[in-house]
Amino acid sequence: MRVGVIGLGIMGQPMAMHLHKAGLLAAVYNRTRAKAKPFEQLGVYVADSPADLAKRVDVVIEIVSDAPDVEQVFFGPSGVAEGAKPGLIVVDMSTNSPEWARRFAERFAQLGVEFLDAPVTGGQKGAVEGALTIMVGGKEEVFKKVLPVFQAFGKQIVYMGPVGYGQAMKLVNQVAVALNTVAMVEAVRLAKALGLDVDKVAQILTGGAARSGSMELYLPKLLKGDLTPGFKSAHLKKDLVYALEYAHRANLPMPATALALELYKKMVERGLGELGIHALGEVY
């Protein structure tokens, strides 16, 4: 299969590089063309637009920031839809919501185009190492076709169900990530106030009952004072908004998640949204 990647940011760039190494990458597109330069130097075609990319591939992978950006890439001027042909498979690997996924799928179906929602977790580290967890919604037969593509950069790939179920699972995941991160930040603040050796603190928190994927990914960076993003605070804030919208509609109390959202809102309000999610202590 010929695969095209739209969005060469923190996650998309290493994912595309793994696809290139697997011999699957046929084209890339990024709004800022300079980010495509490394691929151009490798002989990969750099498309002039999402439509141009869609004409040249069998599978389009898109990973940009939020639903309005995704909609623009798919259906805006020179978007994927303009270059799409029947049988094309479009995969949205950004995080938005099940409603958006179903909306995208319905619009592409009118063009004879298949659609999967397949958000990822594992952060930049997982993308670089080709060890992402991928949660997929859509037709199972389409999922099976695209599975070799996912295997180029994913370690755990789970078919969740119909369109929208990938995004639903990602919102569940983000709630757990956010609450783990709040716990980590407050635990480290307490440890420092008590005068504990932070290396020993890290040893306990990543080896005992408090252990979590978020702790393992972000605690070493936090203790080194490295606040650069493996995943941006602004993006987690956006994901928590989607999750709590569902909770409110379902009359489902989620007070801890609501608190996490308020903290990440403060991150964004103070101009800290581009920092990693582990930089949350900056608002305390």
Active site residue 170: yes
Among 126, 115, 12, smallest CA distance to 65 is for 12
Between CA 95 and CA 197 the distance in angstroms is 37
- Cβ proximity of 75 and 102 under 8 Å: no
- Dig out the tokens for 231 from the structure: 């995943």
Cβ(198)–Cβ(132) under 8 Å? no
Evaluate whether 146 touches 59 at the Cβ level (below 8 Å): yes
Residue 158 CA from chain centroid, whole number:
15
Terminal-to-terminal C-alpha distance of the chain: 49
Q: What is the DSSP letter of 180?
A: H
Give the whole-angstrom CA distance, residue 115 versus residue 163: 8
Phi/psi for 124 (5° steps) reads: -60, -35
For 184, the token pair is 């980590």
Distances (CA, A) of 172 to 119, 126, 134, 242, 254: 12, 19, 13, 10, 12
User: Which one of 21, 85, 155, 170 is the catalytic residue?
Assistant: 170
Tokens of 168: 């639903």
Contacts of 82 (CB under 8 A, 6+ apart): 50, 51, 54
Catalytically active residues are: 170
